[in-house]
Structure 1
Amino acid sequence: MTRTEATAGEPAQKKSAPTTPGAARHPVDERLPPARLGALGAQHVAVMYSGCVAVPLVFGAAAGLDTATIGLLVAADLLVAGLLTIVQSLGIGRLFGVRLPVVAGASFTAVTPMITIHGEYGLPAVYGAMLAAGVFGMLMAWPFARLVRFFPPVVRGTAVTVIGLSLVGTAVGLIAGDDPTAPGYAAKDRLALAAGVLLLIAVLTRFARGFLAQIVVLAGLVAGTGAAAALGMADFSAVGDADWLGLPEPFHFGAPTFPVAAVVSMCVVMLVVFAESTAYLMAVGDMTGRPVGVGDLARGLAADGLSAGLAGAATSFPDTVFAQNVSLVRMTGVRSRYTVTAAGVLLILLGLCPKLGAAVAALPGPVIGAVSLVMFAMVALTGIRTLGEVAYEGTHNGLIVALGLAAGMVPAVAPGIYAGFPSWFRIVAGGSISSAVIVAFLLNLFFHHLAPAANPPKEPS
């Protein structure tokens, strides 16, 4: 290893250990009984559903779409997320899929650029640019994966920590309500219900054993929903009105168009999604005991590119690895990739069956918010643990982390701070994730690759 690489605190390149005949099956490849798979898959869907459907809801409202059209976007979003989750868990040959327990879902990174493109060029340009970005992503997956040495723990840990912290506000909004001026905002019954769910999850985590210990989040959701129904805080009336079968409509907004500025913007978004996914895929590889090599990473990133291509055709959204599901793997200790395969199947069913989707969508906000609060905080914890691997003495890594965290939190605490800047700048710097990744990446490049320290510390074993 070179002196520069040691300074960055980067581990030696890892490769997945091949499975030899007669060797014990790795926990990632463990095949669980169908009933257990179904329950664990449902738990994965439950913790990511609100975040996944929030993307089409936010974009649809900003684009001025009617309720029926937003419903089509939600269905397409779930369908593509399910397909990509299966691809990531099972893989398609040597082309796509990391073959780890990761769940794919719509990326918030793409929302602001999509809204900007819609305002300037219209909806056909949004999905044309997405198609082009999908092709770009599939072509760039292998070159990007070879840059993994530029994403050492100091960069990955900073990015993941910011992701977790910046998402806490979303969970709080589900618990208290989105409008602070509304009469029922932060009502005592909403806060009490959320506190009850959090308490139950804590108690079950402490005392539950066996299978129950692996589904504490699902148990909290079910119990919280039951309590909400008993208190009159749950409304499932929309379930009866929903159809049993609904198919997404490809190219719903007409033939795609490809304005150069829109295409470039979405390609930039694709690179940011890659950086986000890289941090998560490597974190999941570490926590499951199956380190992610260059080939694994490239197949995982190629799946992200595939998601953008499918989304452009199905009027959906680019997918990335979902943070809360990464946390769920750590929290439950269940490493089997087939649990998320089951989650992918459930997501497809939700996308094709509006009635099932309506049932999940009717879960009370305080209950979903309480669970999300735990998951997002666990995301931040994952980042903090990664930062614990970083060597700080005699390096500039402390400054990299500090400035990366600061840059990432600026858009979270002051969402309108870049409103007066050009659209391309808002696309790049307007999100917490992209800001943190870019700043940490560039500072790591500056301190450890372009201007290495005179006496770099030895890399910790």
Structure 2
Amino acid sequence: MSIKNTDEAAPPVTWPDGSEVEKSLGWKLNSMFGIQHILIMYVGCVAVPLAFGAAMQLDDHTVAMLINADLFVAGIITFLQSIGFGKISGARLPIIGGATFVQVATMISIGQQYGLPAVYGSMLAGGAIGMLLAWPFSRILKFFPPMVTGSVLLVLGVSLVSVATELVAGKKTGADGSANPDFGEPRNIAVAGVVVILAIVISALGKGLLSKAALFISMILGVLLCIPLGMVDFSGVGDEKIFGMITPFHFGAPEFPPMGVISMAIIMAVIFAETIASLSALSEITGKQLSKGDVARGLSVDGFSGVLGGVMNGFMDTVFNQNVGAVKTTRVYSRYATGTAGIFLIVLGLMPVTGAVIAALPDPVVGGVGMVLFGSIAVVGVGTLKKVSTGDTINSSIMALAIGLGLMNKFAPGMWDAFPEWTHSVLSDGVVLTAASALILNLVFNHTSIADRARANRREDKPVQYSAFL
């Protein structure tokens, strides 16, 4: 009896070389995968204007306008990042841009102190500063090695799992602080479980287009499953207008308080750090090598999102990380698919009724897809960290501390509440804290004389003779 050598039968492993980024899939596939990207990013994108509107006690009509503006700006930024504009802007990668939560606390602080015109004036100025600093900032790309980007991606993926979990299980308490009776509802968890299983099975066993559309198909099947269970409610769709135009400077002429401008400029720098990590991840996933010019053009679009957001009552955008996970999971690397998504987002920004339909997707379905996506981001982070020599105690210590700092707030929410409010946007964001700590520690211990001295000391150390203690 002979045993077949399975190693010889295994197909060769091929890695993307970046060429698929430049291939258009045709308008039908570009549209399908573009819609899939929108379904993935939509909830996270509109959550920013919802949170800001609630904190500023804005009425429902104004919040709806903020959502429209948010989607409109995200569409323009997504198109520019994916397709580009000459040699001026665009990283030209499969990027979905969207509003980041990093800015919310600072915007609320400015709004409560100076008013809404100051919020959007400060955003506009912060975006303009970002556009000016995009090219100089890109020159520090060498200070974002795999040790830094891998730590950020790992923490990001793990942190985002909590977002998916909340969509599946719900919140423990309601808005009034009372216990939520629907928390951990078995029906919701079961629906999310079915969606996850469908996504994995279709992705693993499907071929070609079927495999790549696994997330989209599992989401549609999940919604169909929810209909007979009474979990889909489209009643609010009829209350929305079909078309809704966005009025520039809706809150009045912009104002520019110095502290507000400085705060939003700092937020833009934090967004830059997030974007560099995301661009590095996309480079790893797609195989396309990034130049300093690519990074600079990508950062300049981030800055432009602040200018555009300040004018159109929107928000600063960054590269949406959940969609980075979608690129990894689906293996669809074409930037024309995300560029098409940008066009759809612009249309959505002008059609509130369409946005209301997407917003009606059951949370457990979105959360189930999120579980797959966010786990994929963490896997990319682990793969990136494999490139780092863990035998070097300096690098190991940097990664351990950066990851630990980034995850602290997830295990002890509110631990930074006693610190000055202006620090919350950095300290309470695990991704930002990981990026900042890994970057600073890498600079100190790998790019200064301290690193040379430490490594020289270790080379001079003699092996410990343990037998002496016996």
Q: Identify whether the pair has TM-score above 0.5, normalized to the shorter chain.
A: yes
Per-residue CA deviation, residues 40-71 of structure 1 (Å, 9 max, x unaligned), is 11111111111111111111111111111111
Gaps of 5+ in 1: 1-16, 18-24
Aligned to 1:192: 190
Alignment of 1:88-167 (within 5 A): 88-167=81-160
Per-residue CA deviation, residues 109-157 of structure 1 (Å, 9 max, x unaligned), is 1112112222222212111110011001100100100011111111111
1:412 aligns with 2:405: no
1:237 aligns with 2:246: no
C-alpha separation in 1, matches of 2:251 and 2:278: 33
Percent of paired sites with the same residue: 44
Query: Runs of at least 4 residues of structure 1 off by over 3 A?
Result: 453-457
1:87 aligns with 2:80: yes
Contact between 2:203 and 2:210, CA under 8 Å: does it hold in 1? no
Aligned to 2:356: 358
Bigger mean CA deviation after superposition, 422-431 or 299-308 = 422-431
Contact between 2:242 and 2:351, CA under 8 Å: does it hold in 1? yes
TM-score (norm 2): 0.90
C-alpha separation in 2, matches of 1:363 and 1:392: 43
C-alpha separation in 1, matches of 2:21 and 2:401: 36
Aligned-residue offset at 1:179: 4.0
SS of equivalent residue, structure 1 residue 357: helix
C-alpha separation in 1, matches of 2:392 and 2:367: 42
Equivalent position to 2:62, from 45, 69, 82: 69
Aligned to 1:324: 322
For 1:35, give the aligned amino acid.
Answer: K
C-alpha separation in 1, matches of 2:105 and 2:153: 20
Aligned to 1:277: 275
Contact between 2:231 and 2:362, CA under 8 Å: does it hold in 1? yes
1:266 aligns with 2:264: yes
Equivalent position to 1:169, from 148, 162, 176: 162
Aligned-residue offset at 1:412: 2.6
C-alpha separation in 1, matches of 2:239 and 2:111: 31
Aligned to 1:436: 434
C-alpha separation in 2, matches of 1:26 and 1:431: 35
Aligned-residue offset at 1:106: 0.6
Aligned to 1:452: 451
Bigger mean CA deviation after superposition, 425-434 or 343-352 = 425-434
SS of equivalent residue, structure 1 residue 320: strand
RMSD: 1.6
Equivalent position to 2:313, from 312, 315, 338: 315
| Count of residue correspondences | 434
For 2:45, give the aligned amino acid.
Answer: C
Equivalent position to 2:181, from 180, 183, 188: 183
Aligned-residue offset at 1:75: 0.6
Gaps of 5+ in 2: 1-16, 174-178, 459-470
C-alpha separation in 2, matches of 1:393 and 1:176: 40
Structure number, greater radius of gyration: 2
Aligned-residue offset at 1:358: 0.6
1:290 aligns with 2:312: no
Aligned to 2:210: 212
C-alpha separation in 1, matches of 2:410 and 2:299: 26
Equivalent position to 1:26, from 19, 22, 26: 19
C-alpha separation in 2, matches of 1:433 and 1:303: 21
C-alpha separation in 2, matches of 1:292 and 1:178: 40
TM-score (norm 1): 0.91
Aligned to 1:39: 32
Per-residue CA deviation, residues 437-461 of structure 1 (Å, 9 max, x unaligned), is 111111101110122245499xxxx
Bigger mean CA deviation after superposition, 441-450 or 393-402 = 393-402
Per-residue CA deviation, residues 295-330 of structure 1 (Å, 9 max, x unaligned), is 000000000000111011111110000111111111
C-alpha separation in 2, matches of 1:350 and 1:230: 28
Contact between 2:138 and 2:292, CA under 8 Å: does it hold in 1? yes
C-alpha separation in 1, matches of 2:419 and 2:274: 24
Contact between 2:95 and 2:338, CA under 8 Å: does it hold in 1? yes
Contact between 2:153 and 2:277, CA under 8 Å: does it hold in 1? yes
Aligned-residue offset at 1:409: 1.5
